[in-house]
Structure 1
Amino acid sequence: MASIYLLGVTTLTIFTFFIFNKIIKYGRNSNHPPGNVGWPILGETIEFCSNPKKFVHDRMTKHSTDIFQTSFGGDRVVFFCGPSGNKFIYSNENKFTNWLPKSIARAFSLTNVDNKSLHWRFFMEHLHNFLRLESLQDCVGVMHSRASEHLEKHWVPYNEVKVQPLSKDFTLSNAVHLLISSNEDLAREIAEPFYTLAERVLSVPVNLPGTSYNQALKASKVVKGKLVDLMRSKKEEILSAKENNVDIEIVGKELLSKLLIASYEEDFKSICDEEIAGQMIGLLFAGFHTTSTLITFIIDYLARYPDVYAKVLQEQLEIAQSKKKGELLNWKDIQSMKHTWNVACETMRLKPSAVGGFREAITDISYAGYTVPKGAKVHWNVYSTQMDPTYFPNPEKFDPSRFEKILPPRAFVPFGGGLRICCGRELARISTLVYIHNVVIRFTLSKANPNEKIIYNPDPYSVDGLQMRFKPHEI
């Protein structure tokens, strides 16, 4: 009986797959972009997440070097490829609106990412103002101090560390401190559920007990609850300050406090607590995840290539030796770290900490001889250019000197481009360079396991956390 049941389920699954593929596989009998949508619900999520570089290359080879369609995260998505595809999206933002796969939006508790929404514009206006370069310049010294304290606590007492989890701890703590609350306890309280969310959000979007996606949703609920509680407390502080004729800026200088203060002027009706919490979770993920991955693999490459490390060390020592005892880094110092940033750029090219971005077409679009219909979800992806030998000769080679030259326009797009270029790119640059400065002026590096495996999900991570041996410089 059981075998008959199993045979029936298998037959139904196969039948459903072929019917599903026949119905929504556009491109075969239309002018829509070519491609496959994979299995029902699953789409090609597993293939994309497990090896995004191969995924993009294979489909560009099979379908089109300009454009193809697939399905992942529960949605059908059109990939625009190459510098031309990037240019088209970045220069035609009036034809697109913001969009995230439903599974990701749900996991981040984001209810609205439409750039025409008043709530979204309220959030983005304050975010862009908060991340203005003039404001960030004042954060350099604070980040230097925090990085130094982090190394003293988590590196100095040992001779071997796991770099990836430590870089996560540092970047999450930094992001929480800058964006949400200066209370150090909050970062510790949300760390475990936030890491679970970050690691499992880009999984097959099946919300059943025990699945990775279900665990991501549970973790998100915990983080959101903490943030909502914090917001309610801050609102009480704002009301109390106003009643007692105290400057309401007393609640804090973090982005969250500024959002609540601005919202207070409309009697807290401009945006609900849950919506702000969702936006902050998404922002935390974007800032924490990308920067911690970048820091991890810069350190990996510095340990693997002594000549690269030597040049970075020379640059950073010159900066350190120009400072008075106890003097912290400043914006001028960050601007002087040109070679170190070239190393960071080459790291982002080979080990991207973000694979691309999403949009939704708000009108029918003609591109590369195909029609992308209104409502279609679109994606630009770094792997369609950054590993292409046309733009980066010998692309598998780690060569920071590439960035001493002028690159082909829109071939290197780790932060996107156009009007919606990542507004946190300077914050990421400062956080990364400050951390690397503190590491290299203190330690020589060597990998504990030179053959430690790197896997993707779809961003790279080291299976053992990047075991690193180090010792203080000899004086």
Structure 2
Amino acid sequence: MHYSLCCLLGTVFICLFVPLIYYLIAWKKHKDTYKAVPHGHMGWPIVGETLEFVSLGKKGTPEKFMQDRMKKYSSEVFKTSLLMEKFVVFCGPSGNKFLFSNEDKLVNAWWPDNVVKIFKSPPGIGEQSKRLRSVLPEFLKVESLRKYIPIMDSMAKQHIKQNWCDKGEVIAFEEAKNHTFELACRLFLSIEEPEFVATISKHFRNIKEGFFALPIDLPGTTLNRSKKAVETILTFILPIIKQRRMELMKKGESATKDILSHMIVIADTTGLFADDADIANKIIGLLMGSHDSTTSAITLTLKCLAEFPHVYDKVFQEQREIAKSKKEGELLNWEDIQKMKYSWNVVCEAMRLTPPVPGTFREAITDFCYAGFTIPKGWKIHWNAYTTNKDPKYFPNPDEFDPSRFEKDGVPPFAFVPFGGGPRMCPGREYARLSILVFLHNTVNMFRWEKKIPNEKTVSLTVPTPKEGFPICLKPHEFASVH
């Protein structure tokens, strides 16, 4: 009896306490490995802190959202809730470096649901996007783009002659937007017809309005208008794809060479794209990405040159020397671009103060630790330029406009990343640099300008935009001519 009782008690101990001890050991190990999620505030139910995030952008102070939370919670990482998702914001150069170096390992690209609904297959998501990123640089690398510099120069001259000359005032943002869109259509699709470009341009303006709109897809809503805009643009681009494919079959190597032709060849030889609609969707995304942020960078640079005459004078001197070295009718080339060092520093400083792309989104594809905290799988991640661009640790006197910051190795690594970094670094960064500098060369050599609205605010939603489009009063140089 006594022996049986002892056996029973032993069995109970083994069945109850051994699993408990095992659980406690496992729990301790789990606790040591996975810390708490980052500190922060999730805001209101469902909407989280989205309203404040959007509101500060509309007020022209988007950096305040980031800076306030970095001071309150952590200068490395904090949590919030945006776009009905749990978010973690990575801050500073170390946060940028961590995300860029762990692309496709710990994190993947993520887009808001609205973007997915609008495009059906947004550029930049999934396995297909990795393959797309591997083929685009072939067309967008420096060696390929050099031959397009004279075309960029010729188009900039023509645009200024038709739309700026003989006018005392222009809306700089609108004019820059028209030019960059015309340029993208010409180089990506070989479309030069002004009427065609103007027609599809109107529909492009409706697309981005739906990115952060209420997720209600009913007739008349902003999201529905954005979806219909993409569908309308598809009706224009699909026939072009069909026609170009026939041209490629007939002419082979002698056919038109642009991004569209490149994508069609890749599609037909590797099966990279599902169908022509898939190619068209990617083209729409590329057209948007190539001209929206570039337009913003051009406009903000023109704004800074109006505000700082001494900076304008140095840019003018640099660009004037290049212009005087050219023969009558001779267009810009790669060697000329290489001489525009100070001008590019000015563009970089303008982008530092007001980033054309404030940040992008990622998604954690597994649990991982960062800065002593756990980032749970499925949580969304945001890197934002304002966590570094105005930090005095990396940019002394951060509110001052000082292009000399970018001389030699003046900026710490990962503190200034206007084109992102890592495998997902913007493939069009060199295209953007060339198109900005070429346009700047032509405007500076033709005009000085003054702001018509002295204290015009810059609002920021998808890209930073002067609230009234930055109207400027033009003052042509006496020697200026467009040839």
The secondary structure found in structure 1 opposite 2:121 is: coil
Q: Are residues 432 and 113 of structure 1, via their aligned partners in 2, closer, same or farther at CA, if it must alter by over 3 Å?
A: closer
The secondary structure found in structure 2 opposite 1:402 is: helix
Q: Which amino acid aligns with 2:43?
A: G
Task: Tell me what 1:14 maps to.
Answer: none
Task: Tell me what 2:113 maps to.
Answer: 102
Task: Tell me what 2:197 maps to.
Answer: 187
Distance 1:72 1:228 in 2: 35
Distance 2:81 2:286 in 1: 25
Q: Are residues 472 and 114 of structure 1, via their aligned partners in 2, closer, same or farther at CA, if it must alter by over 3 Å?
A: closer
Task: Tell me what 2:165 maps to.
Answer: 156
Question: Which piece of structure 1 moves more, 168-177 or 311-320?
Answer: 168-177
| Correspondence for 2:223 among 191, 198, 213 | 213
Task: Tell me what 1:35 maps to.
Answer: 40
Larger Rg: 2
Distance 1:381 1:347 in 2: 16
Contact map agreement 1:75 1:101 (CA 8 A) in 2: no
Q: Are residues 213 and 396 of structure 1, via their aligned partners in 2, closer, same or farther at CA, if it must alter by over 3 Å?
A: farther
Question: Which piece of structure 1 moves more, 360-369 or 69-78?
Answer: 69-78
TM-score by length of 2: 0.85
Structure 1, residues 342-365: CA drift from partner, whole Å, max 9, x if none?
Answer: 110010011111011222222221
Structure 1, residues 77-134: CA drift from partner, whole Å, max 9, x if none?
Answer: 221111110111122222222222222232233257445x2x3244222211111110
Task: Tell me what 2:262 maps to.
Answer: 258
| Correspondence for 1:459 among 433, 458, 463 | 463
Deviation at 1:41, TM superposition (A): 4.7
1:470 has 2:474 as partner:
yes
The secondary structure found in structure 2 opposite 1:157 is: coil
1:69 has 2:74 as partner:
no
Structure 1, residues 270-305: CA drift from partner, whole Å, max 9, x if none?
Answer: 431222222222222211111000001111111111
Distance 1:145 1:81 in 2: 42
**Which residues of 2 match residues 418-457 of structure 1 at below 5 A?**
418-457=422-461
Structure 1 unaligned blocks of 5 or more = 1-28
The secondary structure found in structure 2 opposite 1:441 is: helix
1:145 has 2:154 as partner:
yes
Distance 2:272 2:405 in 1: 50
Q: Which amino acid aligns with 1:349?
A: R
1:324 has 2:334 as partner:
no
Structure 1, residues 204-238: CA drift from partner, whole Å, max 9, x if none?
Answer: 43334444333322222222332223223333444
Q: How much is the aligned-residue C-alpha RMSD, in angstroms?
A: 2.1
Task: Tell me what 1:88 maps to.
Answer: 98
Q: Which amino acid aligns with 2:95?
A: G
| Correspondence for 2:341 among 330, 335, 338 | 338
Contact map agreement 1:248 1:261 (CA 8 A) in 2: no
Contact map agreement 2:47 2:82 (CA 8 A) in 1: yes
Distance 2:435 2:208 in 1: 19
Deviation at 1:248, TM superposition (A): 6.1
Displacement over 6 Å in runs of 4+: none
Deviation at 1:48, TM superposition (A): 2.1
Aligned-residue sequence identity (percent) comes to: 43
- Give the length in aligned residue pairs: 438
Structure 1, residues 54-92: CA drift from partner, whole Å, max 9, x if none?
Answer: 111122222221112223334332211111101111222
Q: Which amino acid aligns with 1:101?
A: P
**Which residues of 2 match residues 45-444 of structure 1 at below 5 A?**
45-50=50-55, 51=57, 52-93=62-103, 94-110=105-121, 113-115=124-126, 117=127, 119-184=128-193, 185-239=195-249, 241=250, 246-247=251-252, 249-250=254-255, 252-265=256-269, 270-405=273-408, 406-444=410-448
Contact map agreement 1:76 1:377 (CA 8 A) in 2: yes
Contact map agreement 2:208 2:226 (CA 8 A) in 1: yes
Structure 1, residues 422-441: CA drift from partner, whole Å, max 9, x if none?
Answer: 11111000000000000001
The secondary structure found in structure 2 opposite 1:139 is: helix
Contact map agreement 2:46 2:84 (CA 8 A) in 1: yes
Contact map agreement 1:365 1:371 (CA 8 A) in 2: yes
Structure 2 unaligned blocks of 5 or more = 1-33
Q: Are residues 165 and 41 of structure 1, via their aligned partners in 2, closer, same or farther at CA, if it must alter by over 3 Å?
A: farther
Contact map agreement 1:160 1:469 (CA 8 A) in 2: yes
Distance 1:113 1:152 in 2: 37
Contact map agreement 1:73 1:104 (CA 8 A) in 2: no
Q: Are residues 36 and 281 of structure 1, via their aligned partners in 2, closer, same or farther at CA, if it must alter by over 3 Å?
A: farther
Deviation at 1:30, TM superposition (A): 7.4
Distance 1:186 1:273 in 2: 20
Contact map agreement 1:168 1:288 (CA 8 A) in 2: yes
Contact map agreement 1:207 1:214 (CA 8 A) in 2: yes
Q: Are residues 35 and 224 of structure 1, via their aligned partners in 2, closer, same or farther at CA, if it must alter by over 3 Å?
A: farther
Deviation at 1:413, TM superposition (A): 0.9
The secondary structure found in structure 1 opposite 2:223 is: helix
